[in-house]
Chain A
Amino acid sequence: MRAKQMLATMSHEIRSPLSGVVSMAEILSTTKLDREQKQLLDVMLSSGDLVLQLINDILDLSKVESGVMKLEATKFRPREVVKHVLQTAAASLQKILTLEGHVADDVPIDVIGDVLRIRQILTNLISNAIKFTHEGKVGVKLYLVPEPPFAKEGSQHGSDGSTANQSTTSASKTESYTSTSKTSSDQNEFHGKKNEGLCQNNSHREPGTPVTNGTTDGSEEQVELPATTVWLRCDVYDTGIGIPENALPTLFKKYMQVSADHARKYGGTGLGLAICKQLVELMGGRLTVSSRVNCGSTFTFILPYKGSTSCDSSDDPDDLSDMVDHDAMDEDETAGFFQFLPRTLGSLFSSNGSSRTQKLMPHNIGYAKSHKLDGLSENCYSFPMNNGPPKEIDSAVQISSEPGSSISHSWDPDNKSWICSEKSQAVEMKINTSGPQLPPKRQKKPDVGSLSKLNGRQQVLKNSTTSKPKILLVEDSKINVMVAQSMLKQLGHTIDVVNNGAEAVCAVQKHGYDLVLMDVCMPVMDGLQATRLIRSFEETGNWDAAAKVGIEQDSSQPGHTSPTKRIPIIAMTANALSESADECYANGMDSFVSKPVTFQNLKECLEQYLG
């Protein structure tokens, strides 16, 4: 203990002058230096950053272990935290990844906890996920769970230093790793129950291995909680390189060495995994991981929070709507889903003054170019090679990630499981999924009052075309039309329906639409071509391209001739190879929903693009 204390004190003492050195080096780097000097300085900065990072981690770790760390109790909004952390990560993201966050409806608007630490933990887990993921997505899922079994083993709160140093490990055959500092007699029960809990939500990992997909036991032995404690579970998942089984036991024991580049990129002091684990346990929770090499990993932490007094922590959806009503929230506060798609061209080309962006650009241009050569249609847009103003680039086609990934992941909301398919070459950018615990909330009639999730636009009370968004559905199958139409009606929209791409182009020629839902495979003209033609009109102001393929504008109708803003075109794709995400984006589509279309997917898509 004394050695630790000494280390902590010394670390403190060491930190100041070291900060000084690093700061001076940074100032130096802004002065005029020759090439050799610059290189030497870079090494200095890297090393300095690394050491600083280490010292901060040591200090944090020792603080936690010696029980000196005081936990705050502040009221905060989990949704905001998730959104903010993702936003920050997205802003400095230099890879082509999708970041997403799902907060279940039953998560309270406000909770009480140590928001700073929680934010740090989340940031660290997300940073790690991004670091080890080169394609696909990184996401956060936050949802209410019943009191987990480990909670009954005694309170872990407080800074009485009760967190033991000894951590025993055990791995289950479902490859999920739990680490605990409890006695062994409790462990088996804990692991058993925990694994079932994990299995339920980690069934994406092992399509082939034995996983109990049953519901967790925890829900059946719900104990009477003091009314104000809610348990929130947070999964930080990624489609990254995964962690090999033999590395799992040491994952939390000693933190991975954070590289200097890593520290520079994301700024701030991240915390090592060991610290995360200690913190989570100090707060009365558990941090676990489940991973599959080449598939991805999920880090999960479960924490108790005190419910805020202004709302109850019931997970009954009806109660939630009452609560929302009571607090008179606006949509932002209850938004449960965030997604940051890789707007590669737009964001990376926009100047943010950082030298890192410049470095990345040639890489992305190269990427875009090679992608273009991948046998796409010759009507593909050309990408500006120079650093033109962002405005021009925004109108160019967006490229999505992963042209040739052999492993794709999709969250199947219908089966509430992950599909890790190894054959498909198409990468699915699933638009939205509902939180795992709650069935999609539905309003039979667009009710004005309670549910703030349905925002004002969707009140179909008047026929005024100014307030109601005009939606065009392009779909050839009568059954699919019927289903989609019914869903859109329930969401409060009336729609125009056409049955193929050519009719879609005609319709767009005649009216302005706020959104187009475009099936991909259709007779006469498919969705990709129709989209290209519409985009051509938006960019050139004329319909020459359409005329070339035989679509004549109906001269009797006064068409809307001025290209207004870009119409969001959403593909409805069956995920065949010919309907891959890449192709959709390359042809000018903004996004897609997978078939079969579900109510929740449609709803979230509309919210995103009619927002």
Chain B
Amino acid sequence: MDLAQLQRQLVDYKTSLYHEDFLDEQFTQLQELQDENNPDFVVEVVSLFFEDSDRLLNELTKALEQQSVDFKSVDAHVHQLKGSSSSIGAQRVQKVCIAFRNYCEEQNVEGCLKCLQQVRHEYSLVKTKLEFMFQLQQQILSAGGSIPM
């Protein structure tokens, strides 16, 4: 694939991510923070998000496996996940977190488990997509091109 095609593919891909609500305008904010002083900002923040989310999802799984679920702790973790996903623009993940917190408030284990499954799903989707997008970007850069923002 030539450079122009790659760039077009990237643009289309990004557009679709926004269109399908995987990303929202907050992600655009991140991109705008990237500049020559901070050339890898987006990748760095997103990587941090992945790390953090992996940790949180593990904690959540553990917490919901307990005999007596500590909903306060579960809620605290979900709150964190909601905050970080909203900060990078991972809209679908954020939305599930909102529902998740409602179930925590109701102390509804079934609901929480369902949400956990959903949030894992959305998270893995957005992670895959972002990783693919970064790959495309890397390809473009390697081919000597620049990233169309």
List residues of A whose CB falls within 8 A of some B CB.
413-415, 440, 442, 444-445, 476-480, 482-483, 486-487, 489-490, 521, 523, 574, 576, 595-599
Pick the contact of A596 from B49, B52, B87 — CB < 8 Å?
A: B87
The answer on a CB contact under 8 Å between A479 and B87 is: yes
Pick the contact of B82 from A445, A574, A598, A599 — CB < 8 Å?
A: A574
Q: Does B45 contact A (CB under 8 A)?
A: yes
Q: Which residues of the other chain, B, contact A477 by a CB distance below 8 angstroms?
A: 52, 80, 83-84, 87
B82-97 to A contact mask, C-beta < 8 Å, 1/0:
1110111100000000
The answer on a CB contact under 8 Å between B24 and A482 is: no
Nearest-neighbour CB distance to chain A for B18, whole angstroms, equals: 11
Q: Which residues of the other chain, A, contact B83 by a CB distance below 8 angstroms?
A: 477, 479-480, 574, 595
Q: Which residues of the other chain, A, contact B87 by a CB distance below 8 angstroms?
A: 477, 479-480, 483, 595-597
The answer on a CB contact under 8 Å between A444 and B84 is: no
A444 to B35, CA, bound (A): 7
Q: Which residues of the other chain, A, contact B84 by a CB distance below 8 angstroms?
A: 477, 479-480
* 28 sampled A-B residue pairs with Cβ under 8 A: A414-B25, A444-B36, A477-B80, A477-B83, A477-B87, A479-B45, A479-B48, A479-B49, A479-B83, A479-B88, A480-B83, A480-B84, A480-B87, A482-B44, A483-B87, A487-B33, A489-B38, A490-B33, A490-B35, A523-B76, A595-B83, A595-B87, A596-B26, A596-B87, A598-B29, A599-B29, A599-B32, A599-B33
Interface centre among B30, B33, B44, B48 (most CB of A within 10 A): B33
Q: Which residues of the other chain, A, contact B14 by a CB distance below 8 angstroms?
A: none
The answer on a CB contact under 8 Å between B33 and A598 is: no
A487 to B83, CA, bound (A): 17
Nearest-neighbour CB distance to chain A for B119, whole angstroms, equals: 16
81-138 of chain B: CB within 8 A of chain A: 82-84, 86-89
Q: Which residues of the other chain, A, contact B48 by a CB distance below 8 angstroms?
A: 478-479, 482
The answer on a CB contact under 8 Å between A486 and B38 is: yes
Nearest-neighbour CB distance to chain B for A491, whole angstroms, equals: 11
Nearest-neighbour CB distance to chain A for B146, whole angstroms, equals: 16
The answer on a CB contact under 8 Å between A483 and B45 is: yes
Q: Which secondary structure dominates where chain B touches chain A?
A: helix
Nearest-neighbour CB distance to chain A for B71, whole angstroms, equals: 15
Nearest-neighbour CB distance to chain B for A163, whole angstroms, equals: 42
A445 to B33, CA, bound (A): 11
The answer on a CB contact under 8 Å between A442 and B32 is: yes
The answer on a CB contact under 8 Å between A414 and B45 is: no
List the A residue with the shortest CB-CB distance to B44: A482
**Known contacts A414-B25, A414-B26, A596-B87: A483-B33 contact under CB 8 Å:** yes
List the B residue with the shortest CB-CB distance to A442: B32
List the B residue with the shortest CB-CB distance to A479: B84
List the A residue with the shortest CB-CB distance to B53: A479
Q: Does B66 contact A (CB under 8 A)?
A: no
Q: A478-B48, A595-B86 are in contact. List 11 more A-B contacts (CB 8 A).
A: A414-B25, A444-B36, A479-B87, A480-B87, A483-B30, A483-B33, A483-B87, A489-B37, A521-B79, A595-B83, A599-B29
Q: Does B41 contact A (CB under 8 A)?
A: yes
A483 to B31, CA, bound (A): 11
List the A residue with the shortest CB-CB distance to B84: A479
A479 to B84, CA, bound (A): 6
Q: Which residues of the other chain, B, contact A482 by a CB distance below 8 angstroms?
A: 44-45, 48
The answer on a CB contact under 8 Å between A596 and B32 is: no
A287 to B15, CA, bound (A): 36
Nearest-neighbour CB distance to chain A for B136, whole angstroms, equals: 23
**Known contacts A478-B52, A480-B84, A596-B86: A486-B26 contact under CB 8 Å:** no
Nearest-neighbour CB distance to chain A for B93, whole angstroms, equals: 12
Which 8 A-B pairs rank lowest in CB-CB distance, beginning with the nearest?
A: A414-B25, A479-B84, A486-B33, A596-B86, A444-B35, A596-B87, A596-B26, A480-B87
Q: Which residues of the other chain, B, contact A521 by a CB distance below 8 angstroms?
A: 79
Nearest-neighbour CB distance to chain A for B88, whole angstroms, equals: 7
Q: Which residues of the other chain, B, contact A574 by a CB distance below 8 angstroms?
A: 79, 82-83, 86
Nearest-neighbour CB distance to chain B for A109, whole angstroms, equals: 26
Q: Which residues of the other chain, B, contact A479 by a CB distance below 8 angstroms?
A: 45, 48-49, 52, 83-84, 87-88
The answer on a CB contact under 8 Å between A444 and B37 is: yes
A597 to B45, CA, bound (A): 15
A480 to B44, CA, bound (A): 12
List the A residue with the shortest CB-CB distance to B34: A486
List the A residue with the shortest CB-CB distance to B45: A482
Interface centre among B29, B48, B82 (most CB of A within 10 A): B29
